[in-house]
Amino acid sequence: MKTLDLPDCSLPGGNHLDGGILARGLSELARPGRAAVSLPWLDAERLAPLRRSASRLAFRRARPLVGEAEKAVRQDFEITLEVPAGGRLNRFAQSLEAELATALASLTDPPVEPPRLNDIAVQRYAAGSSGISPHRDHLRYRRLVVLLSLSGQARLFVCDDREGRGAEEVSIAPGRLLLMRAPGFAGSDARPFHFLTEVTAARYGLGLRHDRTKEAPIG
Ligand SMILES: [Fe+2]
């Protein structure tokens, strides 16, 4: 299976779920052939303020068509990279970066160096949006791609090619964290094809990535 959904587990009175599930997600993602793993991460109470912060940002319409000919990708969403430093979304990214490092350190054979979540993007899909057609995330994104679903309803599939063959769904229900491979994960250069479709309720998603072009020079 290219995808895996780790099950929901309700912790009585618990807000933040056990970080152990992150280590489990990462080791599942390292299995041969695996491209994406979804895990429960935030409950409704923790999610609401992040969603509110996202909804206050200034979005711009993404270009409806990127790339040419057979490589063309259709996209129907709004996006912003203007996420205030020190704001709630940025603080979430920083804490998740630390939690990823802890989770990776707990594994006997960590599949990847801890990613720096130095690229933050928020996407907004209106209800009825056609989503985004099969594509791979840009080569500059390395190690691990992380997507936190803040609200809405849509379906995300990992597939084998631009035609969407071999599609397997992975959950992007609100509160879930999606981990997807990027080059450098588990000794592979894999960049999984994926697409999002069937947006039946307006969706906000927070994308956190390790952009190698923003890495600080060493020395
Ligand atoms: Fe993508």
- Give the model confidence (pLDDT) of 7-62 as tens digits: 986 544 444 455 599 999 999 999 999 999 999 999 999 999 999 999 999 999 99
Distance 34 CA to ligand 1 centre (A): 16
Residue whose pair of structure tokens reads 């997600």 in the numeric block: 25
Which tokens sit at 37? 């793993």
Distance 11 CA to ligand 1 centre (A): 31
- Give the model confidence (pLDDT) of 167-210 as tens digits: 999 999 999 999 999 999 999 999 999 999 999 999 999 999 99
Exposure b/e, 144-156, CB count within 10 A at least 16 = b? bbbbbbbbbbbbb
Distance 14 CA to ligand 1 centre (A): 31
DSSP string covering 66-82, please? ES-GGG-EEEE-EEE--
pTM over 0.75: yes
DSSP letter at 186?
T
